Structure formats: C-alpha cells, structure tokens
C-alpha cells in the first residue's frame, strides 16, 4: 500500500514541451499538448520521476490537499488463486517486490486477477514502481507472463526493457560456460525455490 501525499506540478512558463516527463511517468499521469505538460491530479502517484528528469526543472512536487492510499485488498481474493499465480512466477506471495513502497507479490497477483493487464495499470492500482521505477518492472512482467498475459512493448510509455532471464530460463550453454567459473546456478535456483515455497500450514 502506498500513501500518496505529493503531486507533480508543472510551471507552464518554464516547460518547453519536450515530452520527457510523459515518457518516464509509470502511470501515464502526464500528457503534453500544445507543447505544454499537464499532470492529471487523480492519476499522479507522486513518484517524482518527471520532476527528477525534466531538463529545465519545470516540475516541482507539492503537498496534496487530500492525501490518499493506493493498494489492493488481498483478502477479497481467493487465496488459492493468489498462491497459484505467485507460484507460477516463482514468488512467495508475501515476498516484497518493491522496496520503495513495500508492495508484495500477492498484491500484484491480486491486481492482475482484478483485471490489470499492463505494468502501468498495476503501478496505478498498487503503487509499485512509483519509487525508483527500475527494480520492480521484472517481477511485474514475470507475474503478467505467468498469468498468460502477452507482454507487448508500449512505445508511448512505460519504458520497455523486455524480460530478463531468470534462474529458471537461463540457457544451458550459459550454465555450462560459466558453471566452472565461480557461478552456482543450480544452488541459486534451489535457494530461490526455497524462498518461493509456501508453508503448507498457511
């Protein structure tokens, strides 16, 4: 759950309309029209990506008059379905995927079960990826893929890096090549599976 207390505010007298802010917003809350950037107040999750990257410092983060919380109430979902989806993606449901705003795997799984089918929708719903915006894209893509949702680059927005290899998809030739050079691929995989394993008593 993320408490959204701040909001991006654009100074139109400084904005040059370069659209960098539009491209870095993880939830599509910024749009440039007539060469001026505009922020949708209800959609902004206060991550400050746009303010950090605006080359002319046209954006400042201001306090919201009415802060709000974003997050999915996991208790509304079938725990079996949540566990199944997390297991398919090799995550423990309680595993924290986003350290900036403490979103767990079960929350992302719940958002997907609720109908979120892109990273921006998941970010908007859960608050994930509205911190550093870098680390948690991979877990999101893994959970979407595990749910059978096709992953397509969105060239208008959310910075497509594609999926990186995981301990489960590493090609055998890579393992053969580097296995004797101080890498412990199978041991790493076994450890990750131990973390992902669900206690049968739960």
The answer to whether residue 49 forms part of the interface with ligand SF4 (CB under 6 A) is yes
Of these, 1, 3, 8, 105, which contacts ligand SF4 (CB under 6 A)?
8
Of these, 2, 9, 13, 32, which contacts ligand SF4 (CB under 6 A)?
32
Of these, 59, 105, 112, 140, which contacts ligand SF4 (CB under 6 A)?
59
Instruction: Give the whole-angstrom CA distance, residue 156 versus residue 142.
Output: 21
Of these, 5, 41, 56, 69, which contacts ligand SF4 (CB under 6 A)?
56
Of these, 1, 9, 20, 145, which contacts ligand SF4 (CB under 6 A)?
20
**Residue 52 vs 81, nearer CB to ligand SF4:** 52
Beta bridge partners of 158: none
The answer to whether residue 54 forms part of the interface with ligand SF4 (CB under 6 A) is yes
The answer to whether residue 15 forms part of the interface with ligand SF4 (CB under 6 A) is yes
The answer to whether residue 44 forms part of the interface with ligand SF4 (CB under 6 A) is yes
Write each residue from 100 to 139 as x if it is in contact with ligand SF4 (CB under 6 A), else as -, in one continuous string: ------------------------------x---------
- In angstroms, what is the minimal distance from the CB of 80 to ligand SF4? 33
Piece of the chain touching ligand SF4 by CB under 6 A; list 12-20, 80-88, 161-169, 183-191: 12-20
State the SS3 of the chain: CEEEEEEEEECCCCCCCCCHHHHHCCCCCEEEECCEEEECCCCCCCCCHHHHHCCCCCEEEEEEEEEEEECCCHHHCCHHHHHHHHHHCCCCCCCEEECCCCEEHHHHHHHHHHCCCCHHHHHHHHCCCCCCCCCCHHHHHHHHHHCCCCCCCCCCCCCCCCCCCCCCCCCHHHHHHHCCCCCCHHHHHHHHHHHHCCCCCC
Instruction: Give the whole-angstrom CA distance, residue 41 versus residue 190.
Output: 45
User: Measured at the alpha carbon of residue 96, what is the angle toward residues 90 and 100, in degrees to the nearest 5?
Assistant: 135
**Residue 56 vs 134, nearer CB to ligand SF4:** 56
Residues found near ligand SF4 in the complex (CB under 6 A): 8, 10, 15-21, 24-25, 27, 29-30, 32, 37, 39, 44-50, 54, 56, 58-59, 130
């Amino acid at each position: 759950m993320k408490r959204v207390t701040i909001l991006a505010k654009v100074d139109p007298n400084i904005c040059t309309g370069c659209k960098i802010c539009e491209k870095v917003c993880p939830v599509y809350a910024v749009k440039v029209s007539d060469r001026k950037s505009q922020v949708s107040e209800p959609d902004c999750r206060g991550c400050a990506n746009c303010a950090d990257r605006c080359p002319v410092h046209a954006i400042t983060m201001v306090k919201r008059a009415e802060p709000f919380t974003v997050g999915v109430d996991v208790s509304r979902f079938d725990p079996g379905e949540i566990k199944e989806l997390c297991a398919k993606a090799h995550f423990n449901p309680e595993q924290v995927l986003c350290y900036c705003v403490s979103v767990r795997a079960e929350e992302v799984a719940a958002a997907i079960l609720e109908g979120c089918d892109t990273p921006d929708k998941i970010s908007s719903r859960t608050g994930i990826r509205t911190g550093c915006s870098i680390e948690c894209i991979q877990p999101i893509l893994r959970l979407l893929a595990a749910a059978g949702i096709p992953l397509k680059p969105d060239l208008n927005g959310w910075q497509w890096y594609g999926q990186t290899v995981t301990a489960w998809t590493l090609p055998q030739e890579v393992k053969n090549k580097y296995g004797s050079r101080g890498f412990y691929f199978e041991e790493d995989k076994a450890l990750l599976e131990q973390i992902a394993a669900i206690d049968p008593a739960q």
